[in-house]
Every structure is written in structure tokens, then in C-alpha cells.
């Protein structure tokens, strides 16, 4: 089974061809860093226009890389949300047009399900259920992944996402854009114990997250400490929060067969190392996708499409694009949580 995947929900435009045997036949990606750098963050309107320019040529290039045509594809998977709505619409409409023109089924993929299932593309031995720490630019959640389309949210952030905190810290410290990798690079030359910073919610009995107070404290201390020490201390504070909260969630998910991390922040070496140690303490397998599969890409969308298609799930051509789309629609609202819950 061969699936074409399309991704355009934030600032990466991507197309990939993936088989149900976990072969990535092609994956093409265009970043928009230069377009957004002057603003120090992603500008939705600029992102949407860039997707319009980049996506169709990327699809052609991916098909050529794989040596296949649309006729060889079994289904077309496109991100249908959540994300910046202009970009999501570009990818979803492109997916619908290709599906219609080639007479292939459309599989609408929740971008978060792409992240959530991406570790299974990388690791054929990862079975359900697993505990997933989903840490990205827009989300910070702990989910029990019970199967394709079956997610139980155990925790979420009550304010900022972890990736957002990395990006804002990079901006405050003048480390540049994109922020996460810049903070990690700067932290290598710093002392993680040099700057006292808070660990919001650490020790509380429910495994939710909060990063707004940490970010504000970095803002207060910026310029008063060397940037490398602040970067290292900030990164350590995030790691401590993620590990403490994940430990609580593990206590609530004894059925989990593995601890899994996915999303852009999973590319961070300190985060991966600390979670691996936590899994070891619990005698659990630790699974993290390779770095290129952590940040946004279309291979994870194609793979989630393959898993959904194999389960008989396809979508109609009048399906709406969704700016918000929780993985667990039954999750309770968390006190204090904003719209990102
Ligand atoms: N090495 C790193 N260390 C820390 N953070 C990182 C690293 N690499 C990327 N990130 C962060 O990951 C985020 C991007 O991840 P991703 O592409 O999955 O998010 P998104 O698609 O913008 O959000 P979402 O998936 O929630 O819709 C950014 O906030 C970025 O700073
Ligand atoms: Mg993402």
C-alpha cells in the first residue's frame, strides 16, 4: 500500500510517499525560516502564501524521487488540522484536488495524530498502548495511545506549550529563529545550575503542565546573567517539568508498554536523555523518532494516513479544515487552561 502525504499546518510545506511496510520512498520539505525571521515568529498570512507556492512542486518532486505516479498511489493523506487555518486549507484542498483528479480516496489526518503515530513508523516493534509525551510548538500533552484514532488525554498545558516557551526564550535572549535548536546550541556552553528558575506545577498530583511563569522569569532575568547560562538553566527547568509530570502520568497508565516522545521538542537531546532515564527507572522501553521525524514533516502524515486507511477510514471531499481539533474530544477541560487545551 502506497500513501502520498501532505503537510502544511504551520511553517513547513512537505510531501512524502510512504508504504504500509514502513518504507519512506520520498520525503520533501520546504522551510520558510527566511520569510518569518524578520518577525521573530511565524506570520500566518506569509505562511499560507508560501505553502501555495511550494506545495505542488514538492508533490511532483516527491513522486519523481520515488519513481512513481499518482496512479500508483492507493490514497492521499492531507493534514486537515489543527494549525494555522490558511496553511491547513492549502494542503487539504490540494489533497482533495489530487484525490478527485486521480480517483483515489482522501484520508484527512489530524496533525497531532501524525506526531502521535510517527514513532510507529520508526519502530516496527512499538505496539499499543503506549504513553506519549507530545511536545511541540503548539501542544504539550500526555496521552495514552490505545490505537489508531483512540487517544486518552491524561494531561495538557494550562498555558504555553513547551516549544512555545523555547521559542520565546530564544527571542528574549536574542538567540534567533527558529528558537528551539538555538536554545539547545546556546545551552551547551552554559551551566544549568547558574540561574534559579521556577518549575511550575512540579510535585502536583495531576500531571498537567505550565510554562508561562518560567518564561516570565526568564524575561525578568534576561541581561542579568550570561545568555548561555540562562539558556542552559531554562532548558534544565523544562526537562525537570517534563520528567516530573511524565512520572506522575506513568503512575496513572500502568497498561502502557512503552514511554514515547514525539513533536518538535522531542528533537532536544537533553529532553530525550532525561526521558530515556525515566523509562529505564520504570523498566519501560523508550521510543523517540529520529530527529527529522520529530519536527513537522509529511512522512508522519503519510504514515498516519496508512494506519487510518488500513483501518478502513477515509473521508469525503466536502470535509472541513479545522483550526482546532483535539485528539481526545472527551478530555475534561482543565482549570486555568486556555484555548490550547
Ligand atoms: N532541538 C530543539 N530543542 C527544543 N525545542 C525544539 C528543538 N527543535 C525544535 N524545537 C521546537 O519544536 C517546535 C516545532 O515543533 P513542531 O514542528 O512539531 O510544532 P508545530 O507543528 O509548530 O506545533 P504543533 O505540532 O503543536 O501544531 C518549535 O517550538 C521549536 O522551537
Ligand atoms: Mg507539529
- Calculate how far, in angstroms, residue 18's C-alpha sits from the geometric centre of ligand 1: 23
The C-alpha cell that represents 72 in the structure block: 500508483
142 and 275 housed in the same domain: yes
Q: Whose CA is nearest to atom 30 of ligand 1?
A: 180
Note the pLDDT tens digit of each residue in 320-331.
999 999 999 999
Nearest-CA residue for atom 31 of ligand 1: 180
* 318 CA distance to ligand 1 middle (Å): 30
Contact at 8 Å (CB) between 239 and 165?
A: no
156 vs 135: CA distance, rounded Å: 10
Q: Is 324 among the domain residues?
A: no
Question: In this structure, are 204 and 106 located in the same domain?
Answer: no
Return phi, psi of residue 144, to 5°.
-90, 115
The DSSP element (H or E) to which 3 belongs, if any, is strand 2-7
Distance separating alpha carbons of residues 219 and 316, to the nearest angstrom:
47
Residues flagged as binding site for substrate: 134-138, 167, 180, 184, 268
* Ligand number, closest to the Cα atom of 44: 1
Task: Report yes or no on 333 lying in a domain.
Answer: no
Tens digit of each residue's pLDDT (9 = 90 or more) over 83-142: 999 999 999 999 999 999 999 999 999 999 999 999 999 999 999 999 999 999 999 999
* Confidence band for 339, pLDDT divided at 50, 70 and 90: very low
Looking at the structure, do residues 180 and 192 belong to the same domain, yes or no?
A: yes
- What's the CA-to-centroid distance between 256 and ligand 1, angstroms? 25
Set of cell numbers at residue 124: 516496527
Please give the distance of CA 32 from its chain centroid, rounded to a whole number. Answer: 17
- Which protein residues are within 6 Å of ligand 1, measured from CB? 9-10, 83, 111, 115, 136-139, 163, 166-167, 178-181, 184, 263-265, 267-268, 295-296
Indicate the top mutation candidate among 180, 185, 237, 290 to test ligand 1's pocket, ranked by most ligand atoms within 8 A of CB.
180
Contacts 24+ apart (CB under 8 A), 266-269: 266/133, 266/135, 266/294, 267/180, 267/181, 267/291, 267/294, 267/295, 268/166, 268/180, 268/184, 268/235, 269/184
Pocket probe mutation, ligand 1, options 51, 132, 163, 339, max atoms within 8 Å of Cβ? 163
Would residue 197 count as lying in a domain? yes
Residues 6+ apart with CB under 8 A from 221: 195, 197, 230
Domain that holds residue 205: 127-289
Mean pLDDT of 283-310: 97
* pLDDT at residue 340 is higher than 80: no
Give the domain CATH number at 266. Answer: 3.30.420.40
303 and 270 in one domain? Answer: no
| R_g of the chain, CA atoms, integer Å | 20
Residues 239 and 271 in one domain: yes
Q: What is the tens place of the pLDDT at every residue in 179-218?
A: 999 999 999 999 999 999 999 999 999 999 999 999 999 9
Q: Which three cell numbers stand for residue 75?
A: 490514497
Rounded to whole angstroms, how far apart are CA atoms 332 and 324? 16
| Ion ligand 2 residue ranges (Cβ < 5 Å) | 136, 296
Task: Please give the pLDDT value at position 176.
Answer: 87
Residues 6 or more apart whose CB falls under 8 angstroms from that of 312 comprise: none
* 102 plus 147 within the same structural domain: no
User: Within its chain, how far is the Cα of 209 from the centroid?
Assistant: 16
Q: Is 263 left (phi over 0), alpha (psi -120 to 50) or beta?
A: left
> Which residue minimizes the CA distance to atom 27 of ligand 1?
138
| Number of structural domains the chain divides into | 2
Same domain, 81 and 219: no
Q: Are 285 and 257 in contact (CB under 8 A)?
A: yes
268 and 306 both lie in a single domain: no
3-state secondary structure of 209: strand
C-alpha of residue 109 to centroid of ligand 2, in Å? 12
Q: How far is the CA of 189 from the centre of ligand 1 (A)?
A: 22
* CA dihedral sign of residues 301, 304, 305, 306: positive
Q: Is residue 16 part of a domain?
A: yes
Let me know: does 265 contact 224? Beta carbons within 8 Å: no
* Percent of the chain clearing pLDDT 70 (strictly above): 98
- Cα of 164 from ligand 1 centre, angstroms: 8
HSE of 19 in the Cβ direction (CA atoms, 13 Å)?
8
pLDDT of residue 338: 54
Distance CA 250, CA 106 (A): 36
The pTM of the full predicted model, rounded to 2 decimals, is 0.95
Pair 151, 234 in one domain: yes
My answer on whether 166 and 261 are in the same domain is yes
Q: Indicate the length of the chain as a whole number.
A: 341
Nearest residue (CA) to ligand 1, atom 15: 264
Amino acid at each position: 500500500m502506497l500513501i502520498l502525504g501532505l503537510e502544511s499546518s504551520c511553517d513547513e510545506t512537505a510531501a512524502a510517499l510512504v508504504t504500509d511496510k514502513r518504507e519512506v520512498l520520498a520525503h520533501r520539505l520546504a522551510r520558510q525560516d527566511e520569510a518569518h525571521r524578520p518577525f521573530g515568529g511565524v506570520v500566518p498570512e506569509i505562511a499560507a502564501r508560501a505553502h501555495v507556492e511550494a506545495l505542488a512542486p514538492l508533490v511532483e518532486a516527491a513522486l519523481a524521487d520515488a519513481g512513481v505516479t499518482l496512479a500508483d498511489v492507493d490514497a492521499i493523506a492531507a493534514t486537515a488540522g489543527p494549525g494555522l487555518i490558511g496553511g491547513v486549507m492549502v494542503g487539504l484542498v490540494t489533497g482533495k484536488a489530487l484525490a478527485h483528479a486521480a480517483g483515489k480516496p482522501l484520508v484527512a489526518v489530524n496533525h497531532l495524530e501524525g506526531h502521535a503515530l510517527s514513532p510507529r513508523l520508526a519502530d516496527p516493534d512499538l505496539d499499543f498502548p503506549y504513553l506519549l509525551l507530545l511536545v511541540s510548538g503548539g501542544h504539550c500533552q500526555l496521552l495514552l495511545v490505545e490505537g489508531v484514532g483512540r487517544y486518552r488525554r491524561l494531561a495538557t498545558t494550562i498555558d504555553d506549550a513547551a516549544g512555545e516557551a523555547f521559542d520565546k526564550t530564544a527571542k528574549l535572549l536574542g538567540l534567533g529563529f527558529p528558537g528551539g535548536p538555538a536554545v539547545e546550541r546556546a545551552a551547551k556552553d552554559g551551566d544549568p545550575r547558574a540561574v534559579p528558575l521556577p518549575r511550575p506545577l512540579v510535585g502536583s498530583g495531576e500531571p498537567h503542565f505550565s510554562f508561562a511563569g518560567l518564561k516570565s522569569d526568564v524575561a525578568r532575568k534576561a541581561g542579568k546573567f550570561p545568555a548561555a547560562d540562562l539558556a542552559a538553566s531554562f532548558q534544565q527547568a523544562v526537562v525537570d517539568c517534563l520528567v516530573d509530570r511524565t512520572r506522575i502520568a506513568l503512575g496513572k497508565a500502568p497498561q502502557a508498554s512503552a514511554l514515547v516522545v514525539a513533536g518538535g521538542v522531542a528533537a532536544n537531546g537533553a529532553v530525550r536523555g532525561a526521558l530515556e532515564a525515566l523509562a529505564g527507572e520504570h523498566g519501560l522501553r523508550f521510543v523517540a523518532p529520529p530527529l527529522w521525524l520529530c519536527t513537522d514533516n509529511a512522512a508522519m502524515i503519510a504514515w498516519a494516513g496508512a494506519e487510518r486507511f488500513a483501518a478502513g477510514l477515509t473521508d469525503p471531499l466536502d470535509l472541513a479544515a479545522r483550526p482546532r481539533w483535539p485528539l481526545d474530544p472527551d478530555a475534561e477541560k482543565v482549570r486555568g487552561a486556555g484555548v490550547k487545551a
